[in-house]
Amino acid sequence: MIKTQGVVHFSLPVTDLERSGKFYSELLGMKIVQKTPRMVFLMCGGDFLILAKGDAPLKYDSDKNTPVHHAFKVAAEDFEPAVEFLRKNGVEVFNVENRQDGVFWGPQAYFLDPDGNKLEIHHNTGMGIKME
């Protein structure tokens, strides 16, 4: 078995690097640290997100009920202002709830990036799994 130590980065396929770079930096507050012709590298806390030029992202069903998504941590006091900020900037926010069951507990809200990648903001208040 390989003993992994964490996640270095994750990549999202996007069709327009400039548009998506602005979305993630200007709306989600990530810092663009490098650009190449096919990728935009962003910092999110101490982690990296790479926007990679691709034909299309994963396609989701019409009710946005796919389990495939990427979640970003926010502080408790930043959750509601973040939801309102997204809405004021024309981003549809859905499935806003304060979940007290399942795996990750706490306030969560979902939205799509300009290419339809499903994203979540979440303030973790507990977990429904026991870490061994």
Beta-strand runs (E) in the chain? 9-14, 31-35, 39-44, 47-53, 70-73, 93-99, 104-112, 118-122, 126-127
76 and 120 assigned to the same domain:
yes
Digitized pLDDT (tens) for each residue of the chain, 132 residues in all: 767 677 778 899 999 999 999 999 999 999 999 999 999 999 998 899 999 998 766 666 555 777 778 899 999 999 999 999 999 999 999 999 999 888 889 999 999 999 888 899 999 898 887 766
36 and 98 assigned to the same domain:
no
User: Range of 18's domain?
Assistant: 1-54
Total count of domains within the chain: 2
The CATH number of the domain holding residue 93 is 3.10.180.10
89 and 47 assigned to the same domain:
no
8 and 29 assigned to the same domain:
yes
* pTM of structure: 0.83
In a domain, 96, yes or no: yes
